[in-house]
Amino acid sequence: MTKSPSTLQAYLQLHLIVLIWGATAILGKLISISPYGVVLFRTTIAAFGIFCIIWFQKIDYRLPRKEIAKIAGTGILIGLHWITFFLAARLSNISICLAGIATTSLWTSFIDPLVNKRRIKFYEPVLGMLSVVGIILVFNASFDQFLGLSVAILSAILASTFTVINGRLIATKNHYTISMYEMMGAAVITALIIPVVMVLDGSDLSMHVGIQEWDWAYISFLSLVCTVFAYSLGVKLMKQLTAFSINLTINLEPVYGILMALLIFKEDEHMDSGFYVGTAIIIVSVLLYPLVRRWARHRNMDSEVLQ
């Protein structure tokens, strides 16, 4: 059966934004300022850019204060996710950062039942253990990169948390409205974190906001293309495509990112064979999750018909 043009277009858009997201770690490493500064500029510019879209399209962005606080609170999680994401790439390398990020869907499989108050499916812990095997292989291949991978896994946990929350928000609110308030929350928490970091590590403000040479080009692409365009469109696609289709496609982000990093940074991104075997196991476990879930759902449906 042939897909309708609108559905095909939605799938093409999803693959495009996943490819764009795969480049974010590379941009974070190319920008000279600290990860905190990267996130501050990214979220501030993105919030302003989305506001301009809302203004020109005359979208009603007014919400009760309680709702704004809830969305901005989700933005805090997004800000912390992006800080730890870029920090992981700096502490280790892009490949290790994306190996940790590849566990996002598996964390979601545990966090989603807690938030939505449903039972954990039998196959979720099994796939979780398979992912752990992959992580152990990555650790053995590059134990000196332990801190970077740990921070990347923390980033994955934060990503899975705000993704689950966004799945509930999009049901009743405009995707641009959600994105704008989330970017504002992310910008505020990052602005509050920077002075604390300066006190703790003795850094000066220029390390966090001292833009140099090509930084503006990289930050503009990160803010306008990766965030205003890709992030907002990603939220919108939650209404057009099934969760299965979206999760399966987004799981390709680490694959795209690692391939791009190998092409751009070459020797700096080459790791031992154990790393690639471990990363492959992590990605396979993540890709298996939606497939097994669909299989289990069909079996349950069949059993209900027989009864």
Q: Is the pLDDT of residue 63 over 90?
A: yes
The pLDDT score that the predictor gives to residue 190 is 97
Q: Which residue has the tokens 């396979």?
A: 284
* pTM, two decimal places: 0.82
Find tokens 């403000």 and name the residue.
Answer: 205
Distance CA 300, CA 115 (A): 23
- Residue 239 has a pLDDT of 74
User: What is the chain's mean pLDDT, rounded?
Assistant: 82
Residue 135 and residue 261: Cα distance in Å, rounded? Answer: 20
Read out DSSP for 123-169? HHHHHHHHHHHHHHHHHHH-GGGHHHHHHHHHHHHHHHHHHHHHHHH
Which pLDDT tens digit goes with each residue over 24-40? 888 988 899 999 999 99
Chain segment 142-201, per-residue pLDDT in tens = 555 788 889 999 999 998 898 888 878 877 888 899 999 999 999 999 999 999 999 999
Query: According to the model, what pLDDT value does residue 144 have?
Result: 59
- 305: pLDDT strictly greater than 70: no
Per-residue pLDDT tens digits for 75-92:
999 999 999 999 998 888
Residue 197's pLDDT is: 95
With a cut of 80, say whether residue 9 has pLDDT above it. Answer: yes
DSSP state of 2: P
The whole-angstrom separation of Cα 25 and Cα 111 is 24
Q: Torsion angle of alpha carbons 10, 104, 287, 236, nearest 10°?
A: -10
Residue 252 vs residue 3, higher pLDDT: 252
> What's the first-to-final CA gap in the chain, in angstroms?
30
Cα dist. 60→56, 63, 238 in Å? 11, 9, 20
Q: Is the pLDDT of residue 289 over 50?
A: yes
Q: Are 14 and 241 in contact (CB under 8 A)?
A: yes
List pLDDT tens digits, range 209-258. 999 889 999 999 999 999 999 888 888 887 777 554 565 566 677 777 77
- The DSSP result for 62-115, as a single string, is ---HHHHHHHHHHHHHHHHHHHHHHHHHHHS-HHHHHHHHTTHHHHHHHHHHHH
pLDDT of residue 216: 93
Residue 1 has pLDDT above 50, yes or no: no
Residue 32 CA to residue 299 CA, distance in Å, equals 52
pLDDT at residue 307 greater than cutoff 70: no
pLDDT at position 268 is 60
Residue 50 has pLDDT above 90, yes or no: yes
Q: For residue 158, what pLDDT is reported?
A: 94
Higher pLDDT among residues 50 and 124, named by residue:
50
| pLDDT, position 269 | 56
- What is the enclosing helix (H) or strand (E) of 60? none
> Considering the chain, what percentage of its residues have pLDDT values greater than 70?
85
Tokens at 27, concatenated: 């941009």
